[in-house]
Amino acid sequence: MIGVALLHQRSPLPDVARDEPASIALPLHWVGMCGIALPLRLEDGTRLPASAEVAVDLPDPQAKGIHMSRLYLLLDAFAQRSGLTPAAVHALLRQMRESHTDCRSRAALLRLDFALLQQRAALVTPDLTGWKSYPVSLSAQLRDDTLDIRLKVSVAYSSTCPCSAALSRQALQDAFAADFAQQEVIGREVALGWLARHASVATPHSQRSQAELSIAVGGDAAQFPLVALIDTAEAALGTAVQTAVRRADEQAFALANGANLMYVEDAARRLQQALEARFAACSVRVSHFESLHAHDAVATAATPGWQEPLR
**Cα–Cα distance for residue pair 139/94, rounded to 1 Å:** 15
Q: What's the pLDDT at 184? A: 85
Helix axes 188-198, 162-179, angle to 10 degrees: 130
* pLDDT score at 19: 74
Domain 26-161+205-302 falls under CATH 3.10.270.10:
yes
pTM for the predicted model, two decimal places: 0.89
**pLDDT, tens digit, 9 for 90 and up, residues 93-133:** 999 999 999 999 999 999 999 999 999 999 999 999 999 99
Higher pLDDT, 127 or 9: 127
- Note the pLDDT tens digit of each residue in 256-296: 999 999 999 999 999 999 999 999 999 999 999 999 999 99
Phi-psi region of 305 (alpha: psi -120 to 50; beta: other; left: phi over 0): left
Q: What's the mean pLDDT in 185-201?
A: 88
Domain segments of the chain as ranges:
26-161+205-302, 165-198
pLDDT tens digits, 13-64: 777 777 777 778 899 999 999 999 999 998 888 899 999 999 999 999 998 8
Quote the pLDDT of residue 42.
87
- Per-residue confidence at 239, pLDDT binned at 50, 70, 90? very high
pLDDT at 1: 56
The predicted structure's pLDDT at residue 149: 97
pLDDT at 298: 98
Nearest-10 crossing angle of helices 226-237, 264-276: 140
Tell me what pLDDT residue 131 has. 98
Query: How far apart are the C-alpha atoms of 65 and 311, rounded to whole Å?
Result: 19
Please report, for residues 130, 238, 244, the alpha-carbon distance to residue 126 in angstroms, rounded to integers and kept in the order given.
12, 19, 11
Q: Where are the alpha helices (DSSP H) in 120-199?
A: 162-179, 188-198
Query: CA dihedral defined by 240, 245, 246, 247, rounded to 10 degrees?
Result: 30
